[in-house]
């Protein structure tokens, strides 16, 4: 039976929510563990389908793992990597798994990785990855849907990225750990997840400097020199922003705990600009309060430290209910407005003009049947449904499960009427109330 999230909206949110470990960080840490011929223990690992996929992938390469969802830890023993082929069955599910390309090349001297999948938010080419690996001395080809890279010994190089690609920066960092000499990645991505990856590798014995700045320097170390470590993943700034957006749309007052506020500076400033009240409770918690009608604003998605593209869809649900006309410009992906038709179904007034969305705030949204077309669009649907009058049912929730841990439980703790249900295909949406509620 199909599973849906059902929300009876129009209720303000109150209480506290704790943020999980960052999906976009932990997936790369798991890939990085392939470089360590020892045992690593990673804490603050969220219970997500993407994490399960990544664990299955490295297991297929010969790693031995113990993943405890209860303690939110994963133990990775990568001493015996026996396979350098990352199969399409794994990589097609999410783009982050493509980062094993650099790790396997560095560790094994060769790698064969399927071209990546993930959310259908637009073209995300791997040219930057390939050109960077070639500068390091790798022989790289694309054959039958796989990227095949080989090199007996990589050599440090100066690599200038045309754009600050997060995935390319991470892959080239992993590939250059054991390269002879010095590698410099210029115009590197500056995201907190890049810093987290560098911190993990440095703790294990790598020599990386400049992570979080436009130029990262990697001094190559001897293959086999990295040691096993214990490490805790940073909190998920996108999840934190999503819960903040929920209270901005539905109203109320919540405390978001276990976060690093500095990772959300641009988002916080933009929310304060439209009328949200945000203040620090302690160094790792923020209070978010919405007690009046918000006002429109314009924003452009940009690489960090600018406004994150992953926050665009959740914020659109907020601006759909703000006074005035807002304009969102998506500068990174050409197909990242997939939530627009679904928000229109709920009564939003949004006109899309190529990479721009013009949003005229309405008085209220109305609950209805909608679908999650990708991970962040799914979050936008949940946020809109929480604010809407009446009941909404959200399908395709496997997208949401890729990036949001225990989303029903967390919103229920804030007072939302939200449930995950099994829906018989023969039932209409009006009969959802009689469907079986999942534990």
What residues are labeled active site? 119
> How far, in Å, CA of 328 to CA of 330, rounded?
6
> How far, in Å, CA of 438 to CA of 423, rounded?
11
Characterize 291-325 residue by residue with b for buried, 16 or more Cβ atoms within 10 angstroms of its Cβ, and e for exposed: eeebeebebebebbeebbbbbbbbbbbbbbbbeee
Backbone angles phi, psi at 169, to 5 degrees: -60, -45
> Quick one: which of 122, 88, 113 has its CA closest to 31?
113
Cβ(392)–Cβ(9) below 8 Å: yes
Strand-pairing partners, residue 299, are 328
Pairing of strands 39-43, 230-232: parallel
> How far, in Å, CA of 336 to CA of 355, rounded?
8
Instruction: Measure CA 236 to chain center.
Output: 8
> How far, in Å, CA of 355 to CA of 337, rounded?
8
Backbone angles phi, psi at 117, to 5 degrees: -115, -135
Residues 6+ away with beta carbon under 8 Å from 243: 17, 19, 254, 256, 410, 414
Residues 6+ away with beta carbon under 8 Å from 129: 98, 101, 102, 147, 165, 167, 168, 171, 172
């Amino acid at each position: 039976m199909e599973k849906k999230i059902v929300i009876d909206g129009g209720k303000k949110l109150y209480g506290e929510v704790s943020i999980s470990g960052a999906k976009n960080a932990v997936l790369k840490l798991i890939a990085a563990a392939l470089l360590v011929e020892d045992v690593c223990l990673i804490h603050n690992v969220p219970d997500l389908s993407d994490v399960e996929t990544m664990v299955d992938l490295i297991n297929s390469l010969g790693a031995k793992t113990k993943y405890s969802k209860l303690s939110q830890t994963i133990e990775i023993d990568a001493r015996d990597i026996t396979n350098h082929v990352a199969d399409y069955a794994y990589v097609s599910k999410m783009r982050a798994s493509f980062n094993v390309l650099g790790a396997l090349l560095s560790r094994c001297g060769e790698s064969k990785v399927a071209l990546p999948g993930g959310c259908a938010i637009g073209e995300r080419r791997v040219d930057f990855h390939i050109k960077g690996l070639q500068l390091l001395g790798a022989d790289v080809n694309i054959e039958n849907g796989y990227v095949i890279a080989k090199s007996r010994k990589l050599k440090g190089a100066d690599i200038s990225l045309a754009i600050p690609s997060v995935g390319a920066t991470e892959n080239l960092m992993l590939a250059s750990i054991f390269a002879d000499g010095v590698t410099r990645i210029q115009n590197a991505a500056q995201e907190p997840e890049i810093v987290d990856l560098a911190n993990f590798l440095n703790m294990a014995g790598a020599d990386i400097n400049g992570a979080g700045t436009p130029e990262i320097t990697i001094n190559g170390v001897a293959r086999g020199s990295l040691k096993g470590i214990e490490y805790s993943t940073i909190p998920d700034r996108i999840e934190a922003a999503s819960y903040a957006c929920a209270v901005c749309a539905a109203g109320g007052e919540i405390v978001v705990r276990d976060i690093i506020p500095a990772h959300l500076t641009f988002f916080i400033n933009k929310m304060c600009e439209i009328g949200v009240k945000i203040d620090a409770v302690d160094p790792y918690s923020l209070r978010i309060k919405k007690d009046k009608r918000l006002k429109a604003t314009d924003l452009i998605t940009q690489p960090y430290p600018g406004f994150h593209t992953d926050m665009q869809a959740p914020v659109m649900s907020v601006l759909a209910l703000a006074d005035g006309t807002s304009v969102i410009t998506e500068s990174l992906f050409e197909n990242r407005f997939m939530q627009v038709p679904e928000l229109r179904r709920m009564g939003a007034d949004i006109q899309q003009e190529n990479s721009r969305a013009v949003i005229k705030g309405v008085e209220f949204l109305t609950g209805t049947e909608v679908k999650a077309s990708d991970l962040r669009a799914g979050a936008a649907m949940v946020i809109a449904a929480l604010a809407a009058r009446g009941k909404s049912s959200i399908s395709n929730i496997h997208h949401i499960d890729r990036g949001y841990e225990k989303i029903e439980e967390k919103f229920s703790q804030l007072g939302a009427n939200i449930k995950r249900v099994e829906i018989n295909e023969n039932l209409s949406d009006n009969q959802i109330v009689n469907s079986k509620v999942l534990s």
